[in-house]
Structure 1
Amino acid sequence: MPNVERDETREQRIETEIIVDAGNDKEERAMGWYYYLDDTLNVPFLAKWKKKVRKTGAIEEKEVEVLGMAPDEDCLRDMFVDVVYPGGNDEDVFSAKLSEIEAIDADEETLEALADWQYWLARGYKF
C-alpha cells in the first residue's frame, strides 16, 4: 500500500521521461532511472547521509558530498551514488543508497530528481 498520494505531474514525468521505453523489463526500468538521475543530478552537492545502524536500528546522520551516480552495473536493483566526507580524498569514496541521501545544498533540478526517486519508492513501485 503506497504511503504517499498519487502525484499526476510526477507520474507523467516518470512515464514519459524516465521509464518511457522500458515496458516490464526490470533492467531497462533500472537503466531508465539511472540515466535520468545521472543526467539530472547536478553534482557535487552537500547532503546528509541517513544510514540505519544494523545492530541498534538507530539512524546515523553524516554530512557528505555527493559526487555522482555509482557505476550503472551497481544500480540494477537500487540506485546508488558515490559520496565522500567533506575534506576526504579519492580513497574515501563510498557508495550510498540514493534513498538515504537528503540534499542540504542542491539546485532545484537536483531536488526534483531526488523527490522523484523518493516518490517512486514511497508509492511502492519496483523495477
Structure 2
Amino acid sequence: MTTRQRATKQGAAVREALRDAGGFRSAQDVYSRLRIDGGSVGLSTVYRHLQSLVDDGVVDVIHTPDGEATYRYCGDSSDQHHHHHLVCRRCGRTEEIEGRAVERWAGEVAREHGYAAVDHTVELFGLCPACAAS
C-alpha cells in the first residue's frame, strides 16, 4: 500500500532539485543541492520525499555498482512506460532505453516456471561518449 505524502514546500523542492539534476543522483547529492540553494530541509526529509516520488512512479531508483541508491526524475506517472537505463559511471548521464528482447525473455522465464505478475529491472552502466573520450 502506497502512503501518499501531502504536498509540501520541501517535497516540491526535492522534486525540482532532482528534475533539474538531469540524471541519477544520490539523496546526499539532492540534499547538498538544496542546501547550496538555501533550502532548510533535512536529509531524512529528502529520503522520505524521494521514496514517496518512487512510490508515485515519477522517480526511478537504481543501485550503482557499489550499492548506493540513486534517483532520477522520469516524468509524471501518466507519462510513464516501462523502460530501462543506460547510465554513465563517471558523470551520471542517463539514457532511457527500450528492451524488447529483455521483456520477451522475462515473460518466457516467468511462464516456464509458472510465475505471474513478474517485475524486473535492467540497468546498463558504462562511459558516455564525452567521458570515454576524456
Is the pair's TM-score, using the shorter chain for normalization, greater than 0.5? no
Higher strand share: 1
Normalising by structure 2, what TM-score?
0.28
Query: Bigger radius of gyration, 1 or 2?
Result: 2
